[in-house]
Structure formats: C-alpha cells, structure tokens
Amino acid sequence: MIVAVGYRGICIPNITTDGGVVRLTKVEVDGKTFNRPKDISQALGIERPMRAYPLEIPD
C-alpha cells in the first residue's frame, strides 16, 4: 500500500512494508520521471494524507 504523510500541505508518498516504511523519492509513470513529493503524489493519484492507496506494479 502507498500511504502519504502530510507535511506543510504536501502529501509525501511512502510504501508500507511488513518491516517498515519506504519513502518514494523517484518514480516513473507513463515514461515520465518524477522526483519531487508533490509531483510523485499527483502522478500516482494521491490526494489525501493518511489514506491507503493500492500499489499496482505493471508486468
């Protein structure tokens, strides 16, 4: 699951795992690379902090 933490009005996306949390610092969506928390959240459709979003990884 992806859960964003709110910080100064920005959703900072994280992946939750069995052993902890991994912060997303760079993602590629539809051939475009995003490396800012706000841009990553928008690209992944994350709109609200502290809400679980499903993690889908294409084949």
**pLDDT at position 40, please?**
95
What are the pLDDT digits (tens) for 25-46? 999 999 999 999 999 999 999 9
**pLDDT at position 3, please?**
92
- The segment with the largest mean pLDDT, out of 11-20, 33-42, 48-57, is 33-42
Determine the Cα–Cα distance for residues 34 and 22; give it in Å rounded to an integer. Answer: 16
Q: Which residues contact 4 (CB under 8 A, 6 or more apart)?
A: 11, 12, 13, 14, 41, 46, 48, 49, 50, 51, 53
Is residue 59 scored above 80 in pLDDT?
A: no
Model-level pTM? 0.82
**For 7-11, which contacts have Cβ atoms below 8 Å and span 24 or more sequence positions?**
10/37, 10/38, 10/41, 11/37, 11/38, 11/41, 11/46, 11/47, 11/48, 11/49
